[in-house]
Amino acid sequence: MTEVKEIKEVVAYHANNVCPDDLPWIPYFGDAKFKLLKANPVTGQNITLLWVPANMQLPAHFHPGTVIVYTVQGSWRYLEDPWVSKPGDMVYEPAGSKHTPQAVGDEDVITFNIVEGTLDYIGENGEILARDNWETFLKKYHDYCAAEGIEPIDVTKF
């Protein structure tokens, strides 16, 4: 047991609840869409739901940080790997991973994603074509809400 000698002040943050039904699906790539559940400007983490139509392939991308993906609905895989993620599966992507996601089967895919840092979309020669992070996801969310006349929810508060 660790001995605590003196605590002058403890800052306690309160948990908050996010109801995905209160958030819109934002256009992403092609027919794919996302819901931004949380954007953390302190750590750079973003938490999203991703909806991908059946059999759609997303662009190849690189993660400098770790990513955790929980499959809610449908099945998907990375073209570079032999496994298929099904509902209830969790995929852990170590920092420095590169892959090309593809929905498989006849059912649309929904995943719950926790991303640390950026998503770097890469070209055939490894060049970065575009980059997403908590700021770009937040901007896409606010821009969509403004265009659709939706009052945005503050997804950055703790």
CA distance to 6, 10, 105, 114, per residue, from 133 (Å): 39, 30, 29, 11
pLDDT at residue number 130 = 92
Q: What is the mean pLDDT of each run of 10 residues along the chain (158 residues)?
A: 66 83 95 97 96 96 96 97 97 95 97 96 90 96 98 91
pLDDT at residue number 124 = 87
pLDDT at residue number 10 = 72
Element (H, E) at 119: strand 119-122
Domain boundaries, the chain: 20-148
pLDDT at residue number 16 = 84
Predicted model pTM: 0.89
CATH number of the domain at 20-148, please?
A: 2.60.120.10
pLDDT at residue number 57 = 95
Which residue, among 61, 157, 152, 158, has the nearest Cα to 113 in the 3D structure? 61
* CA within 13 Å, CB half, 104: 14
